[in-house]
Structure 1
Amino acid sequence: MKLSELAERLGAVLEGDASLEVEQVNSLEQARVGELSFLSSERYHSILEHSQATAVLVPADFEGSASCALLRVKNPDRSFGEAALLFYAAPPVPVMGIHPSAVVADDVVLGADVSVGPNCTIEGHVKLGDGVVIGSNSIVGYGSQLGDAVYLHASVTLREFSKVGNHVIIHSGTVIGSDGFGYSVEPDGSRRKIPQIGIVVIEDDVEIGSNVSVDRARFGKTVIGRGTKIDNLVQIAHNVTIGPDSVLCGQVGIAGSTKIGAKTILAGQVGVAGHLTVGDRVIANAKTGIVTDIGEDTHVMGMPAVPKKEFQRGYFGMLKLGALRKKIRKLEKQIDSLIKK
């Protein structure tokens, strides 16, 4: 694709030879002639100066130097995603209809243009909306409801009575609606299983990565709010509520009955204790341990979680302990010498 055409499709301002050809996308470091890349942060300016890419997407106000053509856009990250799709050879669209090896209950309600792949099981009283795709070896449990344009990739398990909104994507290996982890302690110290009779509700425009577990509620519902994005290997316990447009990165674990606010970001391996409230627009750095309620618009880190600036002051103070120890020893020697005199 010529740069002139690419610029037009992306709404970009081109600086360079419009006749140059681009065939695929790549990173700044690895891009070669015929490839497009993007500048996502000022920290990569030095890489851009030596990049062998044919063209690079940069912010509209970029003022640095480059050895290649530039495409000025409002948001390079977003535009790069749009450009990548132009060069991506997508796999074939799933064939509409039910594969002969799938087991579908007689009372299942199918919307228009539904695709059910090989070896799937769709249990009774299920309702599938228009344009739903159920990947091979997936299970949709009894009484579940899926909205329009839901995509379950291969080997997804949706347990009974789950409710999924419109335009939801769930990746392979994920289990929605498994039993919550709840046991009562008997007089002899043994543990008795507590029935988990609630459901899971996944609202519109949610995407859930692979090998995620979202537990059904003990009673009531576990809720994943509209527009929330969940990375791989995340554990969400029973009766958790996650607000709209939140982000949960890999290996986050949230204990039961905790409420996560809207537009909150939990970075990798964040742990949240049970029965807490984490407010709107909270950011928790990687490996943060949240053990108390967190107010809205707070940036926390550490274990236990404290405000970011407080953690940094403590950390940098710790780095000075070695020098402080030497200074104290020196002062002790001076005091001893004065006492001896």
Structure 2
Amino acid sequence: MEFSVNQIAAMIGGKVEGDGERVVDNLGKIEEGKEKTISFLSNDKYENYIYQSNAAAIIVKLDFKPKKPIKPALLIVEDPYSAFTRLLEEYNKILTYSKSGVEEPAYIGKNSTLGDNYYRGAFSYIGNHVKIGNNVKIYPQAHIGDNVEIGDNTIIYQGVKIYADCKIGNNCNIQAGAVIGSDGFGFAPQADGTYKTIPQLGNVILEDNVSIGANTTIDCATLGSTIIRKGAKIDNLVQIAHNVEIGKNTVIASQAGISGSTKVGKNCVIAGQVGIVGHIEIADRTTVSAKAGVSKSVKQTDTILSGMVGFEHKQFLKASTLFKRLPELHQQVQHLEKIVLNLPSDKKN
């Protein structure tokens, strides 16, 4: 698909300097400089590439002044990175939402309804009493269980599994292999050492504008709902257990795990390989650094947590007590050091 530089300028709100009728048919890196592509320059260390580029256009910031002649047209904006991101989003929409209709074989159950401009990929499965909104794209081998509801403009990629009774909002994006609504890890220990399965009867709710990464698993609630609030972004390979609640606009990086019934606040940042125990609350705008373990509630907003090393439990408890007192102990050592250094000498004349 081709666009003129002028059309792209109108799309991202930029001013054209140079030939606005040049044709763009792809996006590319500034260091590659291929013909008919558009790129951006936001970091000065990449400036040299602009002078050797054969690209149709490059997005630059307001104060950019070329030091040499350049071939590409310039698209001048306040923030090149944000403008290029917006362009990527629009390009992705064109690619993604261009699909429509039904690829056979595909199954749809009784009393299920679909809105306008849908796409159903080959070998996709839609159960009974499912309600699907407008412009929803369901890719091959996706499974959507009975009584599921899916809002407008949501994309369900290849191999996604959405269990019965789950609710997916508008403008959601669920990447390949994700599982929404699988059983929570609920087992009751018995007197003989065995475990009895606790039925998991709840569901999962994804509110609007939620993104779920590839092979991420979100367990259904034992009773009630596991809830991912509006605007949350969850990376690949994340485990979210039953009855967890993730707050609005919180982001969670790969391989993090959140145990059952924990509530994570709004605008939190959970880095990679973080582990969070169950039945606690994490305050709004908390940041948890990579590989950290969170073992108790965080009550203060804007808290930053880091660090966890596993070793024998009793030693760990003792060490934790001392670790928290390190600043105080350090001050005491410094104080004692001054006293010792100022002691009178006991040497004889």
TM range (shorter): 0.7 to 0.9
For residue 277 of structure 1, report the CA deviation from its aligned partner: 1.1
> What are the Cα deviations for residues 106-157 of structure 1, in whole angstroms up to 9, with x where unaligned?
2223333333222122222222222322211111112212222222111110
Residue 226 of structure 1 is matched in structure 2 by 230
Q: Is the 8 A contact 2:97 2:137 kept in 1?
A: no
Residue 32 of structure 2 is matched in structure 1 by 31
Residue 214 of structure 2 is matched in structure 1 by 210
CA distance in 2, matches of 1:19, 1:254: 52
Report SS of the residue matched to 1:90. Answer: helix
Residue 247 of structure 1 is matched in structure 2 by 251
Residue 137 of structure 1 is matched in structure 2 by 141
For residue 289 of structure 1, report the CA deviation from its aligned partner: 2.1
Residue 101 of structure 2 is matched in structure 1 by 96
Residue 263 of structure 1 is matched in structure 2 by 267
Length, aligned pairs only: 313
Report SS of the residue matched to 1:268. Answer: coil
CA distance in 1, matches of 2:4, 2:106: 45
Q: Is the 8 A contact 2:163 2:180 kept in 1?
A: yes
CA distance in 2, matches of 1:259, 1:93: 38
Determine whether 1:191 maps to 2:195.
Answer: yes
For residue 96 of structure 1, report the CA deviation from its aligned partner: 2.1
CA distance in 1, matches of 2:8, 2:156: 32
> Counterpart amino acid of 1:159?
Y
CA distance in 1, matches of 2:134, 2:114: 8
Report SS of the residue matched to 1:177. Answer: strand
TM-score by length of 2: 0.76
For residue 177 of structure 1, report the CA deviation from its aligned partner: 0.3
Determine whether 1:83 maps to 2:84.
Answer: no
Task: Label 1:39 to 1:294 Cα distance change in 2 as closer, same or farther (>3 A).
Answer: farther
> Percentage identity across aligned positions?
33
Q: Is the 8 A contact 1:282 1:295 kept in 2?
A: no
> What are the Cα deviations for residues 201-254 of structure 1, in whole angstroms up to 9, with x where unaligned?
111111212111000001111001011111111111100101112211222211
| RMSD after superposition | 3.6
> Counterpart amino acid of 1:197?
L
TM-score by length of 1: 0.77
Task: Label 1:63 to 1:124 Cα distance change in 2 as closer, same or farther (>3 A).
Answer: closer
Task: Label 1:296 to 1:70 Cα distance change in 2 as closer, same or farther (>3 A).
Answer: farther
Q: Which moved more, 1:71-80 or 1:140-149?
A: 71-80
> Counterpart amino acid of 1:10?
I
Report SS of the residue matched to 1:57. Answer: strand
- Gap regions ≥5 residues in structure 1: 306-313, 318-327, 332-337
Q: Is the 8 A contact 2:126 2:145 kept in 1?
A: yes
For residue 301 of structure 1, report the CA deviation from its aligned partner: 3.7
CA distance in 2, matches of 1:86, 1:112: 20
> Counterpart amino acid of 1:260?
V
Q: Is the 8 A contact 1:25 1:31 kept in 2?
A: no
Q: Is the 8 A contact 1:197 1:218 kept in 2?
A: yes
For residue 258 of structure 1, report the CA deviation from its aligned partner: 0.8
CA distance in 2, matches of 1:286, 1:189: 35
Task: Label 1:66 to 1:161 Cα distance change in 2 as closer, same or farther (>3 A).
Answer: farther
Matched ranges for 1:234-313 at <5 A: 234-304=238-308
Matched ranges for 1:146-185 at <5 A: 146-185=150-189
Task: Label 1:112 to 1:79 Cα distance change in 2 as closer, same or farther (>3 A).
Answer: same
Task: Label 1:102 to 1:195 Cα distance change in 2 as closer, same or farther (>3 A).
Answer: same
For residue 5 of structure 1, report the CA deviation from its aligned partner: 5.3
CA distance in 2, matches of 1:236, 1:197: 16
